[in-house]
Amino acid sequence: MSSALVFAWSGVLLFGLGLFGFIAHRHLLRRLLAFNIMGSGSFLVLIGLAQDGRGVDHVPHAMVITGIVVAVASTALALVVFRRWYRASGRTDLPEDT
Amino acid sequence: MIGLWSVPLLFALPLALGILSLLVTPAWRPRLIFVGLPLLAVASFDVLARLVVEGPRIYELGGWQAPLGINLVVDGLAVGMILMTTLVASLCALYARVYLRDYPPSSSFFWPLLWLLWAGMNGIWLAEDIFNLYVGLEVMGLAAVGMVALRATPQALAAAMRYLLAALLGSLAYLLGVALLYATYGTLSMAGLHEAAAPNVTTHVALALIILGLLLKTALFPLHAWLPPAHGGALTPVSALLSALVIKASFYILMRIWLVLGPEVTPIFTAQMLGVLGAGAVFYGGWMAWRQHHLKQLVAYSTVAQIGYLFLFFPLVTGTGPEAARLAWDGTLMMLVAHALAKAALFLSAGNLILAVGSTQISHLVGISRFRPMSLFSFGLAGVSLMGLPPSGGFTGKWLLLHSAILSGQWWWLIVLFLGGLLSAAYIFKVFRMSFREGPQIDRSVTPPLTLDVTALILASAAILIGLTAHLPLFWLRLGSAFGAG
Amino acid sequence: MTWNALILFGVLATSLVASAVIFLLAESRHTTRSVFNLAAAVLKLLLVGWIVWGVYQNIDYEFRFTIIEGVDFILRADALGMMFVGLSSLLWLFTTIYAIGYLEKAPNRSRFFGFFSLCVASTVGIALAGNLFTFLLFYELLTLSTYPLVVHRGTRESLRAGQVYLYYTLGGGALLLFGVVALHVLVGDTEFVPGGVLSGLDPSLHPLLIGIFLMMIIGLGVKAALFPLHAWLPMAMVAPAPVSALLHAVAVVKAGAFGIARLVYDVYGIEFAFSLGLLGPLAVAASITIIYGSLRALAQDDLKKRLAFSTVSQVSYIILGISLFGPVGTLGGLVHLLHQGLMKITLFFCAGNYAETLGVHKISELDGAGQRMPATSVAFTLGAFGMIGIPPMAGFISKWYLGIGALEAGMNWVLGVLILSSLLNAAYFLPILYRIWFRRRERLWCEGKVLGRFETSGWLLLPTLATAAFALIAGVLAGMPFSPLYWADLIVSREYLP
């Protein structure tokens, strides 16, 4: 198995783990962490598959950088909303399921 | 390329105004719309004029070529969505300016969020590559979540959180799909994918991921749970923007990708499944809307139902003849635009009615037809379009979809359109019944400021008018698509 | 946009503009509103008269624009449409006068008159529609504009009646929509052409065409109160008298019957419909409705309900005439469209007068009304005689032609239906007349309202007498040019001899 595929499959595995955590956990911070793991998994897939025989492809690099920025922004927003929610309701999870 | 200034302006200007509005004082934030709205309107019409005169084209941002440069597409569909966004967002902005006067100063964060939302949406409409779509989706999504959270009540925050989680999950699924597509074909551009698309395993997996992600973001039944609390619990202008525009963006992306990947990759089974889920949305959403006691919740569930109609696009365009496919395209776009106009009008006039009686409950609307006829009239006009009764955009769209269904021999969708229309009549007339009932003799209701009523009325009238003048707009929408002049 | 097209659109525009203006006027501007209403009604009548004269001379009036590819919005003035428009415009004028008087001091008049005008605009649109799409557009608009009138009073009863009304009419409308779209798929834009557009289709499609016909008849039959789709009509009696008058004489039921006429004559074509075997079942359905309506009418004590069931029965005469293959039968059905309109509106006006002036809603309370309100009672008598079919009233003319038409078409059993229903009509109208004229009043009138110099308010009385006079004249002067009979004859000759 080439290194590209190793990275790619690890990425998929991370994505899967993250997805499981996202759905299974109730605590919002854990779900946020799971989301970040999922994101990292996707980026890993992108980077991994970027290495092909002809050399390094820069486009996935650009995509991943953009993706990281987006993930940071989303996480920041999620944390702000979570903090407000916690202060307003005293809970760390959402009232009903999902 | 100095010539086509309007294209980059369409997302650069809102972005700039968004940042600018963060830097000015809260009192000045609403006033920026007097700069932004006229410029955006002019830019939108300029783009339309160029499309009609010069035909569809690809625009290279900054003159740099893909793949490192960003390409934008200016075809009928993109321009149509841009115009729709400009109209609806402008009227919602004018509404919000007056509506938010009575709210605390922190609500002035509405304005930066509005501009960011607008920038994101225009970015999506114009995007020519699938990664750009992801960026636009994120910008729009985060701004939308922020808007939901503006009303800082616990319910609003919970709704915002739920919305955010759903949006993030959807986006990641979409991103993974994009990654797989790039890995398989080495290109992100839609034109490139269209040429290269082949039915192999990775493509199917990627398509599945993308579909699931976008279904979640479009709140198609049964993935709709985040929508009613978010749309029903937000500030009125926010609800209007979300239901009218934001929800359409993810559907737009799905439409584009479906058509790009082409008939070889997109199996008929999946298309029919999407149609079945759409039917489920129509029935479930309509039923739930009928059972609601709060006005904005009713309107929110109505969105869940109406989204279902849009998904009839997929079975009617896949594996059918060219005539039926063209009718499906026309009909779906007609329903999309009509719904945007009508739903925005519905939310805005619902907001006016709630202001008038000081309560969100439908049962408190007793006898309001005597005192607030204008607000009720806008509600009614919008309702006519949602029910698919003539003369309205909803009716013309329904007609086109019926025509397509009969022509392609897929008779079962007729039942969906039939029952869906009756269900929407049930929940619209529920409100009317209450308002016509014998009520208090004295006017104890508040008169909403005129701007609020007028903006709602303009949107509702537009929903009706587009049904009667659909010929030319539909022709324009087809320019540059597979169903276009040819 | 030719001058003729503009005039045609003007007929529609008078009521649309009137509606918009009335909605914008403040509730308290009663005089302004009345003046505007009447002016619009008179203007419309003048325009209609102009166009009728033109159609008689075979001048073309058409207004069209494209909605979407292959579907046009078409307004066209032909003989059949002008007959319906003429009836609507004339009766709108009288009903407006009546309504102004009836609703004096009532709340929500702006709302009422606004939707009232919209209702008439829809009816005019139905009459002038040049293809199925335009017809459908105004047909559904009629549903939407009549709902607020039915629920006007806002009581629980009114709301319930409105709900039932919507179930029936929206369901029917959806079925009609399916039929129209299906026909569009088969033949493209279905413009109304005498002799129809479907006869050229492949015979393998004939079962489909029969199915589509059935669907569309159900859709149209809801408004035309065909059994068993009639249930909404008696319930809608809770509406104010001008609404009942308008719904039952002019707008809704006639729209349904008119639609069936268009379907049979100008979409399918009478000969093609006959060859598909569609006319026989239609005649049977109409006959069942005629008898059923009359039987139910007998059992009613409420005056408006009895008149409602009478309408259910009488409108089916029109449908019966349509289903009789042959010019005479057609003539009988079409002329009855006008005659029944005039007679029934007179009866409803009288019922409204009795209710407003004397507080009487039930037949059993009508004893001696002839003494107290002679003019109204004379009008009522004329209308009743017309319904029964006593010469020289207009109703007699219609039934005569229907009878002959039945014999010509070889459906002799229809003659039996006609005779039986006339007897039933007599059975439920004559006792009312007896009570009004020949019974002495035992108790005092509960509400002896003095509404004007005459027996009742002039606003209420004049329209009643006018329509009664028209009903009489239509019968007596039937042989003269421009009588309803003359006009119906014109239509028939243009349909059967292309």
H or E element at residue C72: strand C71-76
Average pLDDT for B472-486: 78
Contact state of B68 with A59 under an 8 Å Cβ cutoff: yes
Structure tokens, B250 = 């993810």
In the three-class reduction of DSSP (H, G, I as helix; E, B as strand; rest coil), residue A25 is classed as: coil
Give all chains having 3 or more CB-to-CB distances under 8 Å with chain C.
B
* Tally of structural domains, chain A: 1
Distance CA B333, CA C325 (A): 46
Chain B residues with CB-CB distance to C208 below 8 A: none
Average pLDDT for B426-432: 92
Chain B residues with CB-CB distance to C23 below 8 A: 373, 377
pLDDT digits (tens, 9 = 90+) for C25-48: 777 778 888 888 889 889 999 988
Q: Which residue of B has its CA nearest to A87?
A: B154
Cβ of residue B400 closer than 8 Å to a chain C Cβ: yes
Judge whether A21 lies within some domain.
Answer: yes
pLDDT digits (tens, 9 = 90+) for C327-342: 888 888 888 888 888 8
- Asked whether the predicted pLDDT for residue A98 surpasses 60, the reply is no
Touch between B and A (at least 3 CB pairs under 8 Å) = yes
Chain A residues with CB-CB distance to B135 below 8 A: 66, 70
Distance from CA of A46 to the nearest CA of B (A): 5
Distance CA B97, CA B95 (A): 5
Look at residue C241 in the predicted model and tell me its pLDDT: 85
Instruction: Determine what percent of chain B is predicted with pLDDT higher than 70.
Output: 98
Q: Of B67, B161, B169, which is closest to A85 when you measure between CB atoms?
A: B161
Q: Which residue of C has its CA nearest to B402?
A: C181
- Divide the 498 residues of chain C into consecutive groups of 10 and give the mean pLDDT of each group: 82 88 80 86 89 83 86 88 88 89 82 89 92 93 91 88 92 93 87 80 84 92 89 87 80 91 88 84 91 90 89 90 84 86 90 84 82 86 87 82 85 87 89 84 63 72 88 80 76 70
Judge whether A67 lies within some domain.
Answer: yes
Contact state of A8 with B183 under an 8 Å Cβ cutoff: yes
CB atoms within 10 A of CB A94: 18
Contact state of B471 with C148 under an 8 Å Cβ cutoff: no
With cut-offs at 50, 70 and 90, classify the pLDDT of residue B1. very low
For B55, residues 6+ apart whose C-beta sits below 8 A from its C-beta are: B479, B480
Distance from CA of C25 to the nearest CA of B (A): 12
Find the range with the poorest average confidence among B200-204, B327-331, B442-446: B442-446
Q: What is the DSSP string of C342-391?
A: HHHHHHHHHHHHIIIII---BGGG-TTHHHH-HHHHHHHHHHHHHHHT-T
Q: Which of C455, C438, C446 is closest to C368 using CA atoms? A: C438
Q: How confident is the prediction for chain B on average, in pLDDT?
A: 90
Q: Which of B330, B377, B399 to mutate to test the interface with C (most CBs of C within 10 A)?
A: B399
Give all chains having 3 or more CB-to-CB distances under 8 Å with chain A.
B
Look at residue B486 in the predicted model and tell me its pLDDT: 36
Average pLDDT for B57-70: 74
pLDDT digits (tens, 9 = 90+) for B210-251: 999 999 999 998 999 999 999 998 999 999 999 999 999 999
Cβ of residue B207 closer than 8 Å to a chain A Cβ: no
Domain spans of chain B, in order of start: 317-486
Cβ of residue A54 closer than 8 Å to a chain B Cβ: no
Q: Of A78, A88, A98, which is closest to B225 when you measure between CB atoms?
A: A98
Look at residue B28 in the predicted model and tell me its pLDDT: 86
Contact state of A82 with B161 under an 8 Å Cβ cutoff: yes
Q: Which residue of A has its CA nearest to B153?
A: A88
Average pLDDT for B274-292: 94
In the three-class reduction of DSSP (H, G, I as helix; E, B as strand; rest coil), residue B296 is classed as: helix
Cβ of residue A7 closer than 8 Å to a chain B Cβ: no
Structure tokens, C160 = 């319930």
CA atoms within 13 A on the CB side of A21: 19
DSSP state of C62: E
Look at residue B136 in the predicted model and tell me its pLDDT: 93
Cβ of residue B39 closer than 8 Å to a chain A Cβ: no
Q: Which residue of A has its CA nearest to B188?
A: A59
Contact state of B391 with C181 under an 8 Å Cβ cutoff: no
Look at residue C452 in the predicted model and tell me its pLDDT: 64
Q: Of C110, C166, C184, which is closest to B429 when you measure between CB atoms?
A: C166
Touch between A and C (at least 3 CB pairs under 8 Å) = no
Contact state of B384 with C159 under an 8 Å Cβ cutoff: no
What is the ipTM for the molecules in this complex? 0.93
Look at residue C445 in the predicted model and tell me its pLDDT: 63
Contact state of A74 with B168 under an 8 Å Cβ cutoff: yes
Cβ of residue B61 closer than 8 Å to a chain A Cβ: no
Look at residue C105 in the predicted model and tell me its pLDDT: 78
Contact state of B439 with C166 under an 8 Å Cβ cutoff: no
Higher local confidence (pLDDT), C7 or B287 = B287
Look at residue C451 in the predicted model and tell me its pLDDT: 60
Q: What sign for the dihedral angle of Cα C445, C451, C453, C455? A: negative
Task: Answer yes or no: are the C-beta atoms of B454 and B100 closer than 8 Å.
Answer: no
- Asked whether the predicted pLDDT for residue B441 surpasses 80, the reply is no
Cβ of residue B433 closer than 8 Å to a chain C Cβ: yes
In the three-class reduction of DSSP (H, G, I as helix; E, B as strand; rest coil), residue B59 is classed as: strand
Task: Answer yes or no: are the C-beta atoms of B110 and B150 closer than 8 Å.
Answer: yes
Judge whether A98 lies within some domain.
Answer: no
- Asked whether the predicted pLDDT for residue B182 surpasses 70, the reply is yes
Task: Answer yes or no: are the C-beta atoms of B192 and B155 closer than 8 Å.
Answer: no
Contact state of B169 with A22 under an 8 Å Cβ cutoff: yes
Q: Tell me whether strands B57-60 and B71-74 are parallel, antiparallel or unpaired.
A: antiparallel
Assign residue A52 the CATH number of its domain.
1.10.287.3510
Distance CA C382, CA C335 (A): 18
Judge whether A95 lies within some domain.
Answer: no
With cut-offs at 50, 70 and 90, classify the pLDDT of residue B134. very high
User: Domain range for residue A70?
Assistant: 3-89
- Asked whether the predicted pLDDT for residue B159 surpasses 50, the reply is yes
Judge whether A65 lies within some domain.
Answer: yes
Cβ of residue A29 closer than 8 Å to a chain B Cβ: no
Cβ of residue A58 closer than 8 Å to a chain B Cβ: yes
Cβ of residue B203 closer than 8 Å to a chain C Cβ: no
Chain C residues with CB-CB distance to B421 below 8 A: 170, 174
With cut-offs at 50, 70 and 90, classify the pLDDT of residue B2. very low
Q: Which residue of C has its CA nearest to B371?
A: C108
Chain C residues with CB-CB distance to B330 below 8 A: 68
Task: Answer yes or no: are the C-beta atoms of B94 and B450 closer than 8 Å.
Answer: no
Judge whether A48 lies within some domain.
Answer: yes
B&C contacts, CB < 8 Å:
86
Q: Which residue of B has its CA nearest to A79?
A: B161
Chain B residues with CB-CB distance to C136 below 8 A: 390
Distance from CA of A1 to the nearest CA of B (A): 16
Cβ of residue B454 closer than 8 Å to a chain A Cβ: no
Q: Of A66, A70, A81, which is closest to B149 when you measure between CB atoms?
A: A81
Distance from CA of B161 to the nearest CA of C (A): 40
